[in-house]
Amino acid sequence: MSTYENVVVEVDDSPAGVRVVELAALHAAETGSKLLLVAAYRSRGSGPAELALQWAAEACDKMGAGVVETVAVAGDPTTVLAEVARDHGADLLMVGNHGLSTLAGRLIGSVPGGVIGKASCDVLVAHTTTHGWLKPISRHHRPSSYRRRFLVGVHHTAHSMRAAERAGALVADLDAELILVGAYERRENRYQGGWRRLMAPSYDLGFDMDALGSAESYLVARSGLSDIESALRDGAARARKQGAEKVEAVAVPGDPVHGLLKIADERHADIVVVGNHPQAQGSARLIGSISSQVSRKTPTHVLLVH
């Protein structure tokens, strides 16, 4: 059974619209997910929307997607996508980011922000600035030596642990690698020794070290790690229960957003996964803003887990 069985996909005539359809089709071909292609339209009528849907359906068929349905709906794209995903019982909504759509008559970059707050399911934001997860996901084109790399931000919250679980399941579906990243406060005023490097066998987080390879290691600091160590262990255990086999953990000092994006760039992540809690209050509201910041700032595709 696929992690995402029912997927709703945004369709428009922007470069981001092309990219998100490609990603959805390739994902469906790999996992057997069912796709519902949705085009929202306003004053120009349904004609352009129907043409866009026709192209998208043909593209999905060429890429090997199985069950594909289409629907054109009048209204604001953000509201239409969120409502169709809810009514369809979707477990994933895929939208594009960056680019100007003449069909929707608005910046697509504004759609993800609204969808993230309204959708009741997970949201994948596809970026046009990366080819990650495109060619590698195809069975027909993926080099045998290539393993896709997913990166998930981890901290001590329920939605963060859910993100680790969902990432673990998706990694198992797609035979990928998983990197857990946790940020922590570095107390330089108390500890002047700075960084020290420990080889993985001496820094046991419960991972299969043979699977990671003898050359793998972790960067750790002299203080401030106890909480994030616990979160990384918990996240890794949850991901492995979902079927993830190759799991790595990285602890980075400082700001969670910058740390996550830094590791994503250094490790050439195909997709970044973060927990999303847009209606959180108090301290959890900061976590919700992390998901929005990551979605805006990273050039890599982003999966926001509700």
Is residue 68's pLDDT more than 50? yes
Q: Are residues 190 and 110 in the same domain?
A: no
Q: Domain range spanning residue 13? A: 6-127
Q: Are residues 122 and 200 in the same domain?
A: no
Is residue 11's pLDDT more than 90? yes
In terms of C-beta density within 10 A (0-12 exposed, 13-18 middle, 19 or more buried), how is residue 222 classed? middle
Cα separation, 105 vs 262, in Å, equals 34
Tens of pLDDT, residues 189-243: 444 444 443 333 323 344 443 333 333 334 444 345 678 889 999 999 999 999 9
- Residue 204 CB coordination number (10 Å): 9
CA neighbor of 22 nearest in space, from 141, 171, 128, 148: 128
Tens of pLDDT, residues 146-172: 578 999 999 888 889 999 999 999 999
Parallel, antiparallel, or unpaired for β 217-220 and 196-199? antiparallel
Most confident of 81-85, 194-198, 200-204, 256-260: 81-85
Tens of pLDDT, residues 34-43: 999 999 988 6
Cα separation, 240 vs 172, in Å, equals 9
Q: Could you tell me if 177 and 150 are in contact, meaning their C-beta atoms sit under 8 angstroms apart?
A: yes
Domains in the chain, number: 2
* Assigned domain for 135 exists: no
pLDDT over 90 percentage in the chain: 39
The three-point CA angle 174-178-182 to 5° equals 150
Q: Are residues 106 and 152 in the same domain?
A: no
Q: Are residues 158 and 27 in the same domain?
A: no
Q: Are residues 30 and 163 in the same domain?
A: no
Give the per-residue pLDDT at 300.
80
Give the per-residue pLDDT at 213.
36
Query: Which residues, including other chains, have CB under 8 Å from residue 245's CB and lie 6 or more apart?
Result: 172, 208, 211
Q: Could you tell me if 272 and 301 are in contact, meaning their C-beta atoms sit under 8 angstroms apart?
A: yes
Answer with the residue of higher pLDDT: 256 or 37.
37
Q: Which residue in the block uniquely carries the two structure tokens 């887990």?
A: 305
* Assigned domain for 91 exists: yes
Tens of pLDDT, residues 110-141: 566 677 778 889 999 888 765 554 444 444 44
Which of 95, 127, 159 corresponds to the end of one domain? 127
Which of 98, 127, 156 corresponds to the end of one domain? 127
Q: Could you tell me if 260 and 303 are in contact, meaning their C-beta atoms sit under 8 angstroms apart?
A: no
* Assigned domain for 281 exists: yes
Q: Are residues 185 and 297 in the same domain?
A: yes
Answer with the residue of higher pLDDT: 90 or 43.
90
* Assigned domain for 134 exists: no
Answer with the residue of higher pLDDT: 252 or 278.
252
Q: Are residues 187 and 97 in the same domain?
A: no
Indicate yes or no: pTM above 0.85.
Answer: no
- Domain of 33, CATH number, reads 3.40.50.620
Q: Are residues 151 and 297 in the same domain?
A: yes
Q: Are residues 114 and 155 in the same domain?
A: no
Q: Are residues 242 and 112 in the same domain?
A: no
Residue 15 Cα to chain centre, angstroms: 19
